[in-house]
Structures are given as structure tokens and as C-alpha cells.
Amino acid sequence: MKRPIATLAVVSFSIFLVACTQTAEPVKPAAPALTAAPVVNDPVKVEAEIIQLERDWVAAIVNKDVATLDRILADDFVGTSIKGGVFHKSDAIDDIKNGVYVVQSMDMDEVSANVYENAAVAFTSQDEKSTYMGNNSGGHFHFTNTWIRQNGKWQVVASHGSPYMAK
């Protein structure tokens, strides 16, 4: 009688061990924590990007490309015109779209940018052939433009233009 009890005990213990190993889930390594991708702040690359955006902005004005203007100008954009007037994004786009401001050419002879992490200040110098409300508005102008990087994209938030007067 001792033998069947001992056999029963060994079989029961074996079943218990098999059951334990089959119901236990393997330990999985912890998933890595999700982190935002670091923003690349290579000043040389950002400077080149801002300079290209300045060129894209000029081309959009000349070509009446309001979609590009809408992408480049921040919603809270404020500009100061060469005559000292203040205008907003909607004004800039509407003036192009409605033919109030017509540009035959904008030739940039100088463009540079200083980069400050998520901000950049660009300087441009250009000859412009244009009309505003049917009147000649062309000349040689200097612009200072402030760019901000938000949500991974650069947009201009402020612009100030002045007529260039040689000394």
C-alpha cells in the first residue's frame, strides 16, 4: 500500500510542477519609454533652411502662390511695411490674391540668418519691381524677418521692411 501512495504522491507532484510551468507567462523585457525625438539644432543646416524659406517666400509673392504664403506665414504674423504700416497674415495674402500688391520681380542680392535654437532672425536685401494699389512701390529694400520653429516647422512671425538709401 505504501508503494501506490508514494507513486500517487510523485505523480501528483509532477502534475503540479507541469501545471505551474505551463500557466506561468514568460517574463518579457520592459518596453522602452517613449520619448520625443530630439530637435536637431545644427545651426548650419537651420541657417540654410531659413535662407531657402526666405527664397520660397519671395517666389510665392512673385508667383501669387497663396498656398505657400499660408504655409510660411504664422497665423499671428505681423509685418511692418516699407512705409511704416502694419499688416497681418490675412492682409498679406488678400493683397496678393486680389491684385492689390503686384510684384513683377524681387531679386535678392543678400540673405543671411542667425539661428537661436527655435528662433531665427533673417536679413534680406532686394530690388523689387512692384505696384501697390496701382502705384509704383518698387525700389531697393532691406527686411528683417523673425522665424519661430513650432511643432517641427519654421514660420515667419514678424517682418520689418525699410527702403535702402545709399550713403
What domains does the chain contain, in order, with CATH numbers? 43-163 (3.10.450.50)
111: Cβ contacts below 8 Å, ≥ 6 apart: 51, 54, 55, 122, 123, 124, 125
Tens-level pLDDT at each residue, the chain (167 residues):
555 444 433 334 333 333 444 444 444 445 444 444 345 568 899 999 999 999 999 999 999 999 999 999 999 999 999 889 999 999 999 999 999 999 999 999 999 999 999 999 999 999 999 999 999 999 999 999 999 999 999 999 999 999 998 76
- Structure confidence at residue 40 (pLDDT): 55
Residue 70 contacts residue 93 (beta carbons within 8 Å)? yes
Cα torsion 88, 92, 94, 96 to 10°: value is: 180
Neighbours of 147 (CB within 10 A): 25
CA–CA distance from 88 to each of 20, 85, 157 (Å)? 71, 10, 10
| CA angle centred on 150, ends 147 and 154, rounded to 5° | 40
Cα 80 to the chain's mean position, in Å? 23
Outline where the chain has alpha helix (H): 2-23, 43-62, 66-72, 89-97
Task: Write the DSSP string, 147-160.
Answer: EEEETTEEEEEEEE
pTM higher than 0.85 for the full model?
no
- The closest of 156, 159, 157, 161 to 56, measured between CA atoms, is 156
Phi, psi of 135 (to 5 degrees): -105, 145
